Amino acid sequence: MQSDAQLTWIETHGVGPTEPDHEVPPALVPDGYEAGALLGKGSQSRVYALDPTQPGPRLAVKVVQRGVHTQQARFDREVDLLGRVRHPNLVRLRDVRHAPTSSGLIMDHIDGTPLQTWLERDDPPRRIRLRIFRQVLSAVAALHTAGAVHRDLKPGNILVRDDPEEGPVACLIDLGIAKSAYLDGITLQGATLGTPGFLSPEQIRDAGGVDHRTDLFALGCLLHLILAGQAPFQGPSPAAILGVVALGHREPIRRAAPDVPEWLAELVDALLAREKDDRPENATAVKLWLDQQKPPADRTPRFVAGL
């Protein structure tokens, strides 16, 4: 079940450049730049560095072949969302260019480290980990406000860069399979879009019938990873992981991270509720839970993790 989101450019970003590429159509390369290293690729798109030939910001181009209706529609939707949603923790759209056989999305080249690599390398204290989670949560909330559902929140779609003044800063990228209320749905019937281990149960059942609460489930997976250093759902294969998610089988987070306070463990449980109606209402409710360090007063606990 390969999707274009299963290998994104930031999963290889920061590892070092791969081979230079000479197949980027010149029409997709802005003036003052030249096509550089291949940063990553999915099933139907590739992302390349754009190296400045004169003083200017570092950029990247996501190249999508034209003529494939669903892929072009996803590209158009990603352009639409990045054009409408501006947020400090969301990759910035710079330009859109077209060639006879392909289209290119020009964006900032984020000089950062994939989330999981950053966690393993730096082993930051909990307050820094939670700050990164809050930043991702804020970017997701902005997408939800714009009527979109990301549908593929995962460590490989989050870069953490070091800012001289702010410290670690998260950047969410790749809206390639986002779902927008403003554009027609393009999910293929029977297709499962996303990444095993970060898919919600309802996303596994019906990829086209999800709402913003599927992102809340993925945020719960990310929060578990951020706090415990491992994803909540494990298995020997993608199919096995999907089965574990669908059944809701996982260990309580305090077994993997005993020092996590009860209120925070309860938030992880709530986000990872098997039924979407048992999750927090929206990203604002999640932020309130974090700010108050306790569940909202009107929430009745309805889910407890267990094997």
The pLDDT of residue 82: 81
Question: What's the rounded mean pLDDT across residues 97-115?
Answer: 91
The pLDDT of residue 69: 58
Give yes or no for residue 60 having a pLDDT over 70.
Answer: yes
pLDDT tens column, 243-288: 999 998 898 999 999 999 999 999 999 999 999 999 999 999 999 9
The pLDDT of residue 70: 60
The pLDDT of residue 208: 67
- Sort 59 into a burial class: Cβ within 10 Å, 0-12 / 13-18 / 19+: buried
Percent of the chain clearing pLDDT 70 (strictly above): 79
The identity of residue 75, as a single letter, is F
Percent of the chain clearing pLDDT 90 (strictly above): 53
Give the range among 31-35, 238-242, 263-267, 303-307 with minimum mean pLDDT: 303-307
The pLDDT of residue 7: 34
The pLDDT of residue 67: 67
Higher pLDDT, 108 or 42: 108
Q: What is the mean pLDDT of the chain?
A: 82
In which band, very low, low, confident or very high, does the pLDDT at 148 lie, cut at 50, 70 and 90?
Answer: confident
Higher pLDDT, 135 or 64: 135
Query: Which pTM was predicted?
Result: 0.82
Indicate which residue of 51, 80, 152, 215 is catalytic. 152
In which band, very low, low, confident or very high, does the pLDDT at 300 lie, cut at 50, 70 and 90?
Answer: low
Give yes or no for residue 25 having a pLDDT over 50.
Answer: yes
Annotation marks residue 152 as catalytic: yes
